[in-house]
């Protein structure tokens, strides 16, 4: 795992190299995905079934066999161990409670001329959520995508989840039951994204697609954007942990927080930033200790080698500058008074405050969404939320009297844009 210091002469270039990553940039990948989308768009169910059999070795012989009934989802939930059932229910309740606070309402006001202006908030009609599948699948992703949609008032939520060789994680199905998902199809990859975007005989076209997936899913979401809305182009998972070498910090905790992201993927990113050289060395030692016993140590080790870093900064100001430069998906502040740092942090997907708030809690049950901007996109993007499943329409009502001063203004501006029909249209309202 590389070690960097802001005092290195080439620190800026080293950091730029560390952060360099493009989610979807391979020409062969894009061509493959475009071909799949085209085939699904024109071939419908038969192509989706064929590709699911080919890529996932799914035993289904009909499209009907790829859809799960609501009874099957309910059964999966009912058959859970009581402890697991309670944990899943707790997570769902907390996610719902948080997102209910995000609901936006329509509003109007009256201007000085007696005209009414406002905004109408409307939920989307139908959305598709993509959930990674197989045995290594994530029921938490179901909750984080479906619950905000339902809270927003979306009428129909369609879930797609790949089932390699027909195998599904019962927890994913149980989560779909809890989140009140309307329909579930056991398909994945670019073909699932295409089916949601354009519709097939069995799968209805949606208005927006959300949820994480592999590079084929990311490329497909980008390709269908415009036909449908998307949440984001998700890259590998990231965490940046910041500390200042105080006695209260435990190096083994900090190391494990870094490894909790590194074990996701060989191209996941874990960065530790500290003002203490002693702490940096202690965390490096604890990482090696933990790697000796973690089940996914091989993945974590590759991740740390490929994209991980331990960064020494001179002081808190430099630490904040590095954080904002990285714009991490997850940011942990392992300090005594994390609130004091909030004003300096401009770019982060989710901010975990204090030593007892590991990113892992946010992944599952804190309440805020775990679908977060990656690859530096926290500079301009937000976590998935209820607002992603609502759209806004402007409301403009002009009375006869109130229209006249605005029409005169519009007339003048339209003339200066050389749009005569615009000008006359407005002029009729105040010269009549």
Instruction: Give me the active site residues, please.
Output: 329-330
Could you give the C-alpha distances from 318 to 2, 65, 251, 288, 315, in angstroms and in order?
Answer: 19, 57, 21, 27, 5
Of 249, 312, 321, 319, nearest to 276 (Cα)? 312
Instruction: Give CA–CA dist 143/91, Å, rounded.
Output: 8
225 secondary structure, DSSP code: B
Which residues, 6 or more positions from 309, have their beta carbon under 8 angstroms from its beta carbon?
A: 1, 2, 3, 4, 18, 271, 272
Pure H helices in 57-110: 70-78, 82-100
Residues 34, 31: Cα–Cα separation, whole Å: 5
Cα separation, 301 vs 280, in Å, equals: 17
Q: What is the CA radius of gyration of the chain?
A: 25
By the 8 A CB rule, do 280 and 274 touch?
Answer: yes
Alpha helices in 236-276 (DSSP H): 251-262
Instruction: Determine the 3-state secondary structure of 108 from DSSP.
Output: strand
Instruction: Give the tokens for residue 413.
Output: 């501006």
């Amino acid at each position: 795992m590389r070690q960097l210091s802001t005092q290195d002469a080439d620190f800026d270039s080293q950091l730029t190299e560390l952060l360099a990553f493009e989610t979807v940039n391979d020409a062969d990948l894009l061509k493959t995905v475009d071909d799949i989308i085209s085939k699904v768009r024109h071939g419908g169910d038969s192509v989706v079934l064929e590709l699911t059999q080919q890529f996932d070795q799914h035993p289904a012989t009909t499209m009907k066999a790829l859809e799960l009934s609501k009874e099957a989802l309910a059964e999966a939930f009912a058959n859970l161990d009581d402890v697991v059932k309670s944990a899943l229910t707790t997570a769902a309740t907390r996610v719902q409670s948080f997102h209910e606070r995000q609901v936006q309402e329509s509003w109007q006001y009256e201007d000085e001329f007696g005209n009414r202006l406002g905004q109408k908030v409307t939920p989307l009609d139908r959305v598709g959520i993509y959930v990674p599948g197989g045995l290594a699948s994530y029921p938490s992703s179901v909750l984080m995508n479906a619950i905000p949609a339902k809270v927003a008032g979306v009428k129909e939520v369609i879930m797609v989840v790949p089932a390699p060789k027909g195998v599904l994680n019962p927890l994913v199905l149980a989560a779909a039951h809890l989140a009140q998902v309307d329909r579930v199809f056991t398909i994945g990859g670019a073909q699932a994204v295409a089916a949601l975007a354009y519709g097939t005989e069995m799968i209805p076209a949606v208005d927006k697609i959300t949820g994480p997936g592999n590079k084929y899913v990311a490329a497909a979401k980008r390709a269908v954007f415009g036909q449908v809305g998307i949440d984001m182009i998700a890259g590998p998972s990231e965490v940046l942990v910041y500390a200042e070498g105080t006695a209260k910090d435990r190096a083994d905790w900090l190391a494990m927080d870094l490894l909790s992201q590194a074990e996701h993927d060989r191209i996941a990113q874990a960065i530790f930033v500290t003002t203490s050289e002693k702490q940096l060395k202690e965390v490096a030692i604890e990482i090696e200790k933990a790697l000796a016993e973690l089940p996914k140590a091989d993945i974590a080790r590759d991740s740390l080698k490929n994209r991980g870093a331990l960064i020494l900064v001179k002081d808190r100001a430099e630490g904040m500058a590095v954080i904002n430069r990285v714009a991490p998906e997850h940011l942990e502040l392992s300090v005594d008074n994390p609130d004091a740092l909030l004003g300096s942090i401009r770019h982060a997907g989710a901010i975990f405050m204090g030593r007892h708030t590991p990113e892992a809690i946010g992944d599952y049950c804190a309440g805020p969404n775990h679908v977060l901007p990656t690859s530096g996109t926290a500079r301009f993007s937000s976590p998935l939320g209820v607002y992603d499943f609502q759209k806004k329409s402007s409301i403009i009502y002009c009375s006869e009297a109130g229209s006249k001063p605005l029409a005169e203004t519009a007339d003048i501006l339209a003339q200066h844009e050389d749009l005569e029909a615009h000008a006359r249209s407005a002029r009729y309202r105040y010269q009549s």
